[in-house]
Amino acid sequence: MSLSARPSRPIEERIPVVLATGAAGRFGRFFVQSLHREHRVVAVDRRPVRGLPKDVTHVRTDLRLRPVEDLFRRYDVRAVVHLGIVHNPRASEEGYRFNVVGTQRLLELVAKHQVPKLVFLSSANIYGPHPDNSHFLTEDAPLLGADGFPNIRDLVAVDQLAQSFFYKQPGIETVLLRPVHIVGPRVKNAPSNYLRLERPWVISGFDPMIQLIHESDAVAALMRALAPGIRGVFNVVGPEAAPLSRVLQVLGRKTRSVPGPVARALLDRAFRFHATGFPAPEIRHIQFNCVVDGSLARRVLGFEPQYGLVETIRSVLGHRE
């Protein structure tokens, strides 16, 4: 008799696992490589995946589909780590539904099967770079990220879904992590791609403070969030903040200074004609501060970044340690 044909087995016979979504992404794969050293891992992603460790079970499915629930019946899921959020400014409609509906579905399953732990990877970007921001945003700051950048409203929505889970399911240890820009040799997100540009644009007369975190430090924070007893919302901050101009100086970049309105108009057109992957509202990130206070994570999670500032910046160049 095949495994899937059996009725739901008693929990004591099931294998304890940690279920990770979004495991086929560059960061997801890297995280799973750390995770599988300590836990049996079931990786869920709708994309095909290569290079996962052999003892990791990969299930290729969309979070919104039925096979996902079967995983909760088949295994003793001890924790769910939700990385499976699409950050694609182009896939707006579909991405919105995938993120919001997929997350909603996952939360329902976590509640139904009373998984003791849920770790959720959000982002500090949802506070939004804003000229009125206090210099250090704490976890209680308003989530204004979608203000002026409606395409990321789903990222704000899923963060809020996770927040409401705290009071809906007080028995489940929910951890919501909001890391600053994750960079490193593996990840290819907007901030690291920007730092890889040979001649990046900067906005004339603006030089905001930038916070980066090395991908290994971000993984370390996730691992700490899995520790029993930890719950709450945490900003996750790497080394100290630095002005954008100095970050680019470390990389030896020659910048092109473009006035704000011109940059916005040009980028808007370029993005529409698929000449660039950067949507115009992201200009705000190189214009205004979005600096967060990571002291809560330091106190409660005991998280300290291992990578220094220069090391973290240089990591985008791809020298693997």
Partner 1 sequence: MELIPRGRPSRRRRLARRLVSNDLRTRMARMTAELGELGVDPFGFDPETVKYAAVPLEVLYRHYFRVLTYGIENVPSGRALLVSNHSGQLPFDGMMIGAALVFDRDPPRVVRSMVEKFVPRLPFLSVFFARVGQVVGTPDNCRRLLERDEAILVFPEGARGISKTIDRRYQLERFGGGFMRLALETKTPIVPIGVVGAEEQSPAFYNIKPLAKLLHTPSFPVTPTFPLLGPLGLAPLPTRYRIYFGTPMTFDGDGDEEDAFIQERVEQVREAITALLERGLSEREGIFR
Virtual torsion, Cα 213, 173, 167, 147, nearest 10 deg:
10
Contacts (CB under 8 A) with partner 1, residues 186-205: 203-205
Shortest Å distance, C-beta 167 to partner 1? 26
Q: Are 230 and 224 in contact (CB under 8 A)?
A: yes
Contacts (CB under 8 A) with partner 1, residues 259-278: 259-260
CB nearer partner 1, residue 95 or residue 238: 238
CB nearer partner 1, residue 108 or residue 240: 240
Q: Exactly one of 192, 235, 289, 315 binds partner 1 (CB under 8 A); which one? A: 289
Q: Exactly one of 37, 308, 317, 318 binds partner 1 (CB under 8 A); which one? A: 308
Shortest Å distance, C-beta 310 to partner 1? 5
User: Per-residue x/- mask for partner 1, residues 150 to 189, rule CB under 8 A?
Assistant: ----------------------------------------
Binding span for partner 1 by CB under 8 A among 70-78, 159-167, 179-187, 238-246: 238-246
Rounded Cα gap, residues 243 and 31, in angstroms: 29
Rounded Cα gap, residues 179 and 318, in angstroms: 21
Total residues in contact with partner 1, by rule CB under 8 A: 29
Binding span for partner 1 by CB under 8 A among 22-30, 106-114, 184-192, 284-292: 284-292
CB nearer partner 1, residue 136 or residue 166: 136
Q: Exactly one of 288, 290, 292, 307 binds partner 1 (CB under 8 A); which one? A: 288
User: Per-residue x/- mask for partner 1, residues 243 to 262, rule CB under 8 A?
Assistant: x--xx-xx-x------xx--
Rounded Cα gap, residues 56 and 38, in angstroms: 12
Contacts (CB under 8 A) with partner 1, residues 73-132: 131-132
CB nearer partner 1, residue 115 or residue 241: 241
Q: Exactly one of 25, 28, 89, 239 binds partner 1 (CB under 8 A); which one? A: 239
Shortest Å distance, C-beta 36 to partner 1? 33
Q: Exactly one of 77, 81, 291, 297 binds partner 1 (CB under 8 A); which one? A: 291
Rounded Cα gap, residues 113 and 95, in angstroms: 26
Q: Are 242 and 209 in contact (CB under 8 A)?
A: yes
Would you state the structure tokens that stand for residue 221, as one six-digit string? 């924070």
Shortest Å distance, C-beta 144 to partner 1? 14
Virtual torsion, Cα 131, 133, 136, 138, nearest 10 deg:
-150
CB nearer partner 1, residue 206 or residue 303: 206
Shortest Å distance, C-beta 61 to partner 1? 44
Q: Which amino acid is at 267?
A: L
Shortest Å distance, C-beta 17 to partner 1? 40
Residues that bind partner 1 (CB under 8 A): 131-132, 134-136, 203-207, 209, 239-243, 246-247, 249-250, 252, 259-260, 288-289, 291, 308-310
